[in-house]
């Protein structure tokens, strides 16, 4: 299966001008109707497909960061796959995960029964935008023919496996080893993050600050083996935490037991770390340990359940 078979000059929209997110999605849905092999159920057109994509968008923004958005939806009875791609003449506010405007969007619509097809195409689309030369060439394209040529020239688009690089999100909060613990924990609270990476001066992940780890600072190891704590109800497990917070750094209390996987790690490897090994996050890293992004349970649910 190759991505180019779903693309024509009719469903590619370079330098598109839009008013807002809804206008972007409606124009992309209209273009997606030109996808080869697409068959819609009776009574279904642009309005119904747009409603499905916008309903998905209200669940959680599909702005994945760094200027990219992947709006998508599922419509029962649809046969094949509806696809369109657009670059924007002006960056668009999109409520993206990193708060940055979007200037590049790929749209996919499929049925629940063909969700795997949508996932594979999204994986290939993600590969496109992560290749810097191809990404910039797509952004420079001024007409659909040039846009399509950029895609068809790209090699290696046939990998059917959903990998970490296609699921990961940007790292929105990270701290250095010498960051005061109080500052780090207050930022975690403000951003509502359960766990964050601790990086060295070269950007490598060397540890993790997590709520589990922080709350466990004052709990003796033998407590973890007990089935009941009724005999020590008055013990204050947070006393040590507050003492530590006042004068420690992130490096002093970080855990070095964290999950780090390469960008080509498979979905199965990610789920093993998240579900079987119970890590709150997986840090996606380069060979030298530099952090590229994160994958958590929400990211997997978003990609697998919602498409």
* Catalytically active residues, by annotation: 72
Instruction: List the end-to-end C-alpha distance of the chain, in Å, as a whole number.
Output: 18
| Residue 32 · residue 107 · CB < 8 Å | yes
Q: Within its chain, how far is the Cα of 117 from the centroid?
A: 18
CA distance 55 to 135: 28
Query: Which residues on adjacent β-strands are paired with residue 291?
Result: 285
Query: Which residues on adjacent β-strands are paired with residue 73?
Result: 109
Between 115-130 and 297-305, two packed helices, what is the crossing angle to 10 degrees? 120
| Residue 306 · residue 59 · CB < 8 Å | yes
The DSSP secondary-structure symbol of 258 reads -
| Residue 60 · residue 97 · CB < 8 Å | no
Query: Which residues on adjacent β-strands are paired with residue 104?
Result: 68, 87
Tokens of 303: 């990609």
CA distance 264 to 284: 9
């Amino acid at each position: 299966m190759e991505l180019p078979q779903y693309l024509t000059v009719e469903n590619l929209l370079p330098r598109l001008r839009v008013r807002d997110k809804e206008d972007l999605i409606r124009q992309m849905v209209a273009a997606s109707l030109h996808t080869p092999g697409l068959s819609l159920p009776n009574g279904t057109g642009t309005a119904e497909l747009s409603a499905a994509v916008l309903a998905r968008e209200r669940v959680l923004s599909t702005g994945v960061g760094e200027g990219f958005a992947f709006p998508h939806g599922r419509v029962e009875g649809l046969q094949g796959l509806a696809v369109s791609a657009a670059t924007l003449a002006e960056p668009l506010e999109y409520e993206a995960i990193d708060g940055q405007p979007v200037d590049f969007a790929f749209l996919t619509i499929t049925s629940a029964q063909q969700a795997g097809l949508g996932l594979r195409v999204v994986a290939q689309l993600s590969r496109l935008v992560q290749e810097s030369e191809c990404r910039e060439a797509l952004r420079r394209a001024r007409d659909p023919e040039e846009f399509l040529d950029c895609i068809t020239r790209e090699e290696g688009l046939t990998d059917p496996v959903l990998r970490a690089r296609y699921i990961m999100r940007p790292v929105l909060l990270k701290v250095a080893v010498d960051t005061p613990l109080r500052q780090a924990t207050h930022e975690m609270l403000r951003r509502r993050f359960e766990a964050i990476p601790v990086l060295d001066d070269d950007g490598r992940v060397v540890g993790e600050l997590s709520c589990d780890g922080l709350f466990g600072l004052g709990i003796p190891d033998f407590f973890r083996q007990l089935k009941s704590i009724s005999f020590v109800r008055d013990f204050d497990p947070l006393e040590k935490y507050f003492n530590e917070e006042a004068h420690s750094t992130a490096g002093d209390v970080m855990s070095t037991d964290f999950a780090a996987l390469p960008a080509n790690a498979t979905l199965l490897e990610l789920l093993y770390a998240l579900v079987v090994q119970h890590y709150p996050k997986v840090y996606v890293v380069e060979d030298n340990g530099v952090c590229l992004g994160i994958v958590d349970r929400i990211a997997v649910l978003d990609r697998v359940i919602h498409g």
